[in-house]
């Protein structure tokens, strides 16, 4: 007879405790311990016949080395985020807000792979096969190599995988799948952990590229234990503003590529469309001749992106002025304000300051410091910059402008979009030749940059 055991598990880190605790002893998070019922049964383990292997240990010098082949998805933005395509046998976790377009993205990806001749199995635990067919009709994702199944029992899913033998597998979503021998509700910590471990072994042994869809919490993190992200090979976040039509696909973990890449899509009636030139999208509504507006050349992985940066500085009647930023780290904004006040003599103690990256993009590299400083100074002085100027550079605490990487690519991107002048760190001018038709101004301090930009 099975013995019932009750334990408490942290939803953040997976730490187990025999009693409930207000604060997790593992990660220190509050109110994250949830009750789990564990049944100890002597079995061979679920799906053991499907994922058995008889491989023996090998000496590392006897293993043939070679580059892992990748499967291109016919979606350039997705290939860029994944590092060149899908790696066979990899386990990918995709998270995002409800209704953001995760199922649409994966159904279009499944169709693109099935068209190339690969066998694709799309398992949905949230929609019936008819609902999935309706979505496929709208997207035009119809092919005989794409199989659809509505199932949440992991044993039935294992039988379907054994029968279809897919090259690409999609589980939508991991929170709906359950293992019958685990005495917990679907979506609980124990169920998510066990099911993810099963798909991880299946992907590695069978060589099936597997994508898991994960729900997110109110804070935007993937629901379930944090060890879920450690088990998978790649973690992708699909994000975007509900009031805008474009979506961002960002990699926060990737064992087979860079974690700095982003893919940009636009949501339409017929599904997601790739945005090949995101700079034009982010600058399409930019006003000209308005104080506080500048353009920054930021690097998103290997691709330069030009984004509008807006600042508003206004007098306040309160003793403590407000400091708000969107798309840029709040602490970085406070640092730039302190540099402007100390090194440039701007009296900002009685001024509210707001900083915004237009389009809902998040910029986290130091190269946006100079553009932020110029935007704040432009709004404070009510003096607009030239409409065809681009800025980038890191600002130090002494007011110096430090060099940044890949300056040549940033300048070339600005030239493609018709900008006439680039204000950048002078130490980034070494080792390359500026293109013709664009003026390059190298500056060493913030004072020089403001003199060149505002006069």
Binding site residue list for ATP: 96-103
Cα–Cα dist 331/253, whole Å? 24
- Rounded to an integer, what distance in angstroms lies between the CA atom of residue 174 and that of residue 314? 48
DSSP state of 153: B
Give the helix/strand (H/E) hosting 130. Answer: helix 129-139
Decide if 347 contacts 381 (C-beta within 8 A): no
* Distance between start and end Cα atoms, the chain: 84
**Among the listed residues 318, 323, 320, the one whose alpha carbon sits nearest the alpha carbon of residue 336:** 323
Nearest to 454 by CA among 341, 298, 294, 299: 294
Residue 363: both structure tokens together: 């910029």
Q: Check: CB of residue 71 under 8 Å from CB of residue 42.
A: no
> Which residue from 89, 45, 70, 66 is spatially nearest to 232, judged by alpha carbons?
89
* Cβ atoms of 291 and 311 closer than 8 Å: no
Query: H or E element: which one contains 170?
Result: strand 168-172
Which candidate, 156, 213, 154, places its Cα nearest to that of 182? 154
Q: Which of 122, 172, 177, 129 has the alpha carbon at shortest distance from 153? A: 177
Burial 42-64 (b: 16+ CB within 10 A, else e): eeeebbeebbeeeeeeeeeeeee
Residues 238, 249: contact at Cβ < 8 Å? Answer: yes
Count CA atoms closer than 13 A to 125's CA, side-chain side.
Answer: 20
Q: Which residues are annotated as a binding site?
A: 96-103
Token couple for 82: 């994944």
What gap in Å lies between CA 174 and CA 183, rounded to an integer? 17
Closest CA to 262 of 220, 222, 300: 300
Secondary element (H or E) of residue 384: none
Q: Report the distance separating Cα 76 and Cα 292, nearest Å.
A: 35
Across the chain, how many H-helices and E-strands are there? 11, 21
The two beta strands, 234-239 and 246-254, are antiparallel
């Amino acid at each position: 007879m099975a013995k019932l055991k009750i334990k408490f598990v942290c939803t953040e880190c997976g730490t187990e405790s025999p009693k409930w605790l207000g604060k997790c002893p593992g990660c220190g998070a509050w109110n994250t311990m949830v009750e789990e019922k564990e049944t100890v049964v002597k079995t061979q383990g679920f799906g053991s016949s499907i994922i058995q292997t008889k491989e023996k240990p090998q000496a590392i010098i006897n293993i043939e080395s070679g580059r892992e082949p990748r499967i291109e998805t016919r979606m350039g933005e997705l290939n860029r985020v994944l590092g060149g395509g899908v790696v066979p046998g990899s386990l990918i976790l995709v998270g995002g807000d409800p209704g953001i377009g995760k199922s649409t993205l994966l159904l279009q990806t499944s169709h693109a792979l099935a068209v190339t001749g690969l066998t694709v199995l799309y398992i949905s635990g949230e929609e019936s096969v008819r609902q999935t067919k309706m979505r496929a009709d709208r997207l035009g994702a119809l092919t005989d190599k794409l199989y659809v199944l509505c199932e949440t029992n992991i044993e039935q899913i294992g039988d379907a995988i054994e029968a279809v033998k897919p090259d690409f597998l999609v589980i939508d979503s991991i929170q709906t799948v359950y293992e019958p021998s685990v005495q917990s509700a679907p979506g609980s910590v124990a169920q998510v952990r066990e099911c993810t471990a099963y798909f991880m072994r299946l992907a590695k042994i069978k060589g099936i590229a597997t994508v898991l869809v994960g729900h997110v919490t109110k804070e935007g993190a993937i629901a379930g234990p944090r060890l879920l992200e450690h088990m998978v090979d790649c973690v992708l976040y699909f994000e975007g503003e509900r009031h805008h039509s474009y979506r961002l696909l960002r990699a926060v973990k990737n064992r087979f590529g860079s974690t700095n890449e982003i893919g940009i899509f636009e949501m339409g009636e017929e599904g997601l469309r790739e945005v090949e030139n995101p700079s034009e999208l982010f600058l399409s509504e930019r006003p000209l001749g308005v104080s506080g507006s500048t353009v920054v050349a930021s690097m998103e992985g290997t691709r330069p992106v030009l984004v509008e940066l807006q600042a508003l500085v206004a007098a306040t009647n309160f003793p403590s002025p407000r400091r708000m930023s969107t798309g840029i780290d709040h602490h970085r904004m406070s640092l730039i304000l302190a540099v402007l006040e100390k090194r440039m003599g701007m009296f900002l103690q009685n001024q509210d300051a707001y900083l915004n990256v237009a389009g809902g993009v998040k910029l986290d590299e130091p190269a946006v410091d100079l553009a932020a400083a110029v935007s704040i100074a432009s709004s404070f002085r009510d003096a607009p910059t030239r409409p065809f100027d681009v800025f980038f550079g890191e600002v130090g605490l002494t007011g110096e402008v430090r060099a940044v990487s890949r300056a040549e690519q940033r300048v070339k991107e600005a030239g493609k979009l018709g900008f006439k002048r680039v204000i950048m760190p002078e130490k980034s001018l070494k080792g390359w030749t500026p293109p013709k038709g664009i003026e390059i101004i190298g500056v060493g301090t913030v004072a020089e940059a403001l003199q060149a930009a505002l006069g």
